[in-house]
Structure 1
Amino acid sequence: MPINKPKHPKGLPILFLTEMWERFGYYLLLGILLLYLKDPKGGFGYENKEASDIVGTYLGLVYLTPFVGGLLADKILGYRRSIILGGLLMSAGYFCLAVPNSEMFWIAVLLLVIGNGFFKPNISTLLGNLYNNETNKSLKDDGYNIFYMSINVGAFICNFVAAYMRNAYGWGYAFAAAGIGMLIGVLFFIGGNKHIKAADIMKPAKPEDMSISKVLWIVIIPMLIFGVIGWLIPGNIFGSDSTDAFIIACIPVIGFYINLLIKSNKDDKSRIAALLSIFAVVIVFWAVFKQNASALTNYAETYTDRQISAETATYLKPFGMVQEISIQPDTFPKYDAYFRPVKNVQGEIETVISPNPYFQNLDKNNWPKENQPIQLISTEIFQSINPFFIVLLTPLVISLFSLLRRRKREPSTPAKIAWGLLITGISTAIMAFAIYSTDITQDKSSAWWLIGSYAVVTIGELFLSPIGLSLVSKVAPARLTSLLMGGWFLATAIGNKLSGVLSSLWDNYDHKANFFWVNFTACLIASLIIFAMIKWLRSIIQQHT
């Protein structure tokens, strides 16, 4: 009798097409947000420290709300309704960003933060539910990897759209493109309803579970109160008012998960403990990885050699890859001035004024003549390197794990996470060597260093991020899956916020290589902690998968 090979569910392409368009908008915004905040003409003209802090705060908040969104989906709304609601709110947020107004900017951020809370944990939970039968359960890790690879197509193409729109028409048109993309994703999701509705199963509550009203009073309201207290505390405990507010606001949420662990039954306790341990350590990964939206964007804009010939620019311009800049005597420095504090040979701080961030670390003798344009690769295009490598390398990583599985040598899920952290650390070491190779106070670093770093960190990401989502889906008690998925995103939120904190310290380092060595050390320590816990984690995972 022939043996039926397990197949991936038909709902898989529906979910990854929906998420692909969500990633299109999300990464489009991340690719240009720092640039927009720093732009003195069409943006807000913030200093790098303040802009990095805002980017980190947004990244933190957008992954903090999945805690609430996952809870509401588990108990009240269901997963499909939550995803549609979240997608519509995010689309509205992107359209609000298209309005050049500071008040509208914060309304947009609020809509994006709330929308992502409804969308993000629940689409990952739905995907896991599609693989909860015996015929395809063995394909769950591969399913998450395929999902992860496919959605990054959106993350890859979005930066070309963003660069074209902002260079040709302005920032607002780029943000509006993100809103249109999110609407397309919602339509894909609604159209594929028949393939996913069977996975939208609300789990029955148990006596020991907290009610929604109790969570509201014990977690959500205290979180808001703690956030206000953090904002109002005199001085800056963690570097800025927004960081104080964010970190202190997380305390009730962290307390909720600890309470969940303490009050759980014996079977659930070990599973929740294993997940919370992993969540705590992978904060380091997100703190380093999400610097692509801040520190690495700043590095690409100011310190990386992006200049290309006019002939090359002719071919690349239709794809939105070219940014043309020049020194205009009638507007410089009144409107186009960028300021950078530097130390002179006496150790005193001086301010360098340049008409564009690209010139800040170049001697004025190397600036182009007035009204003589030069062609650069648009900064945000570098944000497409990571998703490009995800699409390229995911099949290879899946094949590697399949080969090792057949030979019974596949690393356990915790081991994959530990290796992912170590590889991520190596990517930051590459950037340290990039600085050793070039005096970036006087010259530009080769773009190949940045490309190489993104290639390595992508491998680390593929070992960790999709595997982490799969792990939560497999290990979490069924009725708490989306809630614990929210815990994964809470760890992501804290790490994302810390990425902004770390990036805002860039100007504090006299030798910029030390900035990257700090990141390397953090990843190394985090990986060693996971390696030390592997035996315990593996035993728990094997019991429940």
Structure 2
Amino acid sequence: MTSTAIPSTGARERSVTDVSGKHPKGLYVLFATEMWERFSFYSMIALFTLYMQDPNEGFGWTAARTTGLYANYLMFVYASPLIGGWIADRALGYRRAVMIGGLFFTAGHLLLSFRSLTAVYAALACLVIGNGFFKPNVSTMVGNLYPEGSHLKDRAYNIFYMGINIGAALAPIVAQFVKSTFGVHPAFAVAAGGMVISVWILWQFRRYVDPPRETTTNAATHAANAAAVAVDAPPSGISHQSAIEGVPEWKRITALIVIFLVVIVFWMVFHQNGSTLTYWAENNTDWGFIEKAGTLSNAINPLWVITLTFPLIWFWKWLDTKGLEPATPTKMVFGMTLTGLSFFVMYFAAKAGEATATGDSPYNFVVSPAWLVSAYAVLTLGELMLSPMGLSLVSKVAPIRMRGLMMGGWFVATALGNKLTQIGVFWDRWLHSSFFAVLGGMALIMAVVLLVLLKPLKKAMPGV
């Protein structure tokens, strides 16, 4: 008597998903899993740097010392998916790796709910390990819900990306409330609670996310989209890219090196949001009825992402119908220009504040929150304009035999850019206006470099 294997619910859904035109239930399971994980992650980001400087509940560190630790944490966090994804591919499997990552995440947030410097370092180690196991593999699981070539896969990553930003927007709002009402340590415990919900959802509904392992090798875009959302970058659907034709390898590699340089500068500037822009929101912004809203300010960027993403997708498609959609290198010029301009918005905000500073300190002033909200609007639009420089581009431009190496290079560039957020140590050594001008100037210099190289980049990436 022979037995017949009964496919999982996820496998059965996968086989009919394109026929019905509907997304499988597993997508919504992973959407909720990721949303609560990002709620947990960004709660910590919103709280951490201010916590370390707090002399009462925290440790009274200087802004420079705090920023240095935070930069090192970001570097390891954004490098960890490279290792966690490799281990899941070869040993653990995706869902098991995600569950392990979730347990490390939970432990890390719980450790932060105790006031101990030893616990802080142990917590950061747990969070780095947790991110390495969780992020790349939950992203890969999204693509594995669909058969290769599915027209629904790109849309699925756009939906999944919204889950990331909903969690990221909700986190600072809840963290600010809990911190103001109960204290910072209970707020870290709430972050751990979010992670428990995330792991519970994945375990409870695991039957919807266990399709057969991918057997096709033609999955470059799937891998790229999975890796992009693994570091909270927009997937390829938001940038509306097309395929690249054959180009000499040396031209492709040179183009990608330029992309990596852009990645480094962009993340160095953009991820000031968890450090110096949070310090600004806490100490130099008059929030009216809300006192000390640095934690809350971390919700501004994801709220702008949610607001601007789909209008931008529509805009690219509208331009495409008229044959006017810019090439990827042109979009990158626009994106870096907007990134630089956003920090010049903050430069003018700081100049206005410094003109009214009281006492002996040039930092003793507050300005309207409209400055910060406006700067984030410009910065977020730049972020979305730069989405083509993500791993989807790497997967299309890199020679096939070097694709793994080039994707690894992208992760290294991302990690290095996050390490360089340590430029924030100059926050209380320079005038705030000077600090913002330096960062804005770096981004604009990179935009000019891209503009100068625009023609050769277009030749190296035709049709992209």
Shorter chain as denominator, the TM-score bin is 0.7 to 0.9
Q: Distance in 1 between matches of 2:327 and 2:26?
A: 27
Secondary structure of 1:134's aligned partner? coil
Shift of residue 539, structure 1, vs aligned partner: 5.5
Cross-structure match for 2:368: 446
> 1:264-285, CA deviations, whole angstroms, 9 ceiling, x for partnerless residues?
xx99877666545422321111
State the TM-score, normalized to the length of structure 2. 0.79
Secondary structure of 2:308's aligned partner? helix
Alignment of 1:450-465 (within 5 A): 450-465=372-387
Secondary structure of 2:386's aligned partner? helix
Q: Distance in 2 between matches of 1:277 and 1:6?
A: 39
Confirm whether residue 496 of structure 1 aligns to residue 413 of structure 2: no
Shift of residue 157, structure 1, vs aligned partner: 1.1
Secondary structure of 2:428's aligned partner? helix
Alignment partner of 1:179 out of 178, 192, 204? 192
Shift of residue 533, structure 1, vs aligned partner: 4.7
Describe the shift of the 1:481–1:14 C-alpha distance in structure 2 as closer, same or farther (beyond 3 A).
farther
For the Cα contact (< 8 Å) 2:249–2:399, is it kept in 1? yes
Confirm whether residue 169 of structure 1 aligns to residue 182 of structure 2: yes
Q: Distance in 2 between matches of 1:519 and 1:100?
A: 34
Shift of residue 189, structure 1, vs aligned partner: 3.2
One-letter amino acid of the structure 2 residue matched with residue 441 of structure 1: A
For the Cα contact (< 8 Å) 1:145–1:466, is it kept in 2? no
Confirm whether residue 507 of structure 1 aligns to residue 428 of structure 2: yes
Secondary structure of 2:115's aligned partner? coil
Alignment partner of 2:31 out of 8, 16, 23? 16
Q: Distance in 2 between matches of 1:539 and 1:192?
A: 47
For the Cα contact (< 8 Å) 1:145–1:394, is it kept in 2? no
Describe the shift of the 1:163–1:470 C-alpha distance in structure 2 as closer, same or farther (beyond 3 A).
same
Cross-structure match for 2:127: 112
* Larger strand share, 1 or 2: 1
Q: Number of aligned pairs?
A: 411
Describe the shift of the 1:189–1:70 C-alpha distance in structure 2 as closer, same or farther (beyond 3 A).
same
Q: Distance in 2 between matches of 1:272 and 1:70?
A: 24
Q: Distance in 2 between matches of 1:537 and 1:131?
A: 33
> 1:37-57, CA deviations, whole angstroms, 9 ceiling, x for partnerless residues?
000011011011111111111
Confirm whether residue 417 of structure 1 aligns to residue 432 of structure 2: no
One-letter amino acid of the structure 1 residue matched with residue 386 of structure 2: L
Describe the shift of the 1:454–1:43 C-alpha distance in structure 2 as closer, same or farther (beyond 3 A).
same
Shift of residue 33, structure 1, vs aligned partner: 0.7
Shift of residue 488, structure 1, vs aligned partner: 3.1
One-letter amino acid of the structure 2 residue matched with residue 491 of structure 1: A
Cross-structure match for 2:9: none
Root mean square deviation, CA, Å: 3.2
Cross-structure match for 1:250: none
Greater gyration radius: 1
For the Cα contact (< 8 Å) 1:144–1:467, is it kept in 2? no
Which runs of no fewer than 5 residues in structure 1 stay unpaired? 205-265, 309-321, 323-375
Cross-structure match for 1:518: 438
One-letter amino acid of the structure 2 residue matched with residue 153 of structure 1: I
Alignment partner of 2:296 out of 374, 381, 395? 381
For the Cα contact (< 8 Å) 2:331–2:388, is it kept in 1? no
> 1:299-351, CA deviations, whole angstroms, 9 ceiling, x for partnerless residues?
1111111232xxxxxxxxxxxxx4xxxxxxxxxxxxxxxxxxxxxxxxxxxxx
Q: Distance in 1 between matches of 2:212 and 2:320?
A: 28
Q: Distance in 2 between matches of 1:177 and 1:90?
A: 12
Cross-structure match for 2:139: 124
Alignment of 1:239-278 (within 5 A): 274-278=255-259
Cross-structure match for 1:342: none
> 1:413-432, CA deviations, whole angstroms, 9 ceiling, x for partnerless residues?
34333322221111101001
Shift of residue 400, structure 1, vs aligned partner: 0.9
Shift of residue 112, structure 1, vs aligned partner: 0.4
Shift of residue 463, structure 1, vs aligned partner: 1.9
Cross-structure match for 1:351: none
Shift of residue 441, structure 1, vs aligned partner: 2.9
Alignment of 1:429-444 (within 5 A): 429-439=344-354, 441-442=357-358, 443-444=365-366
> 1:126-185, CA deviations, whole angstroms, 9 ceiling, x for partnerless residues?
445567733417x62x55443323311111111121112222222221111111212222
Shift of residue 98, structure 1, vs aligned partner: 1.1
Secondary structure of 1:307's aligned partner? coil
Describe the shift of the 1:57–1:130 C-alpha distance in structure 2 as closer, same or farther (beyond 3 A).
same
Alignment partner of 1:157 out of 163, 170, 193? 170
For the Cα contact (< 8 Å) 1:162–1:174, is it kept in 2? yes
Secondary structure of 2:55's aligned partner? coil
Confirm whether residue 83 of structure 1 aligns to residue 98 of structure 2: yes
For the Cα contact (< 8 Å) 1:121–1:482, is it kept in 2? no
Secondary structure of 1:508's aligned partner? coil
Describe the shift of the 1:526–1:119 C-alpha distance in structure 2 as closer, same or farther (beyond 3 A).
farther
For the Cα contact (< 8 Å) 2:281–2:293, is it kept in 1? no
Describe the shift of the 1:276–1:118 C-alpha distance in structure 2 as closer, same or farther (beyond 3 A).
farther
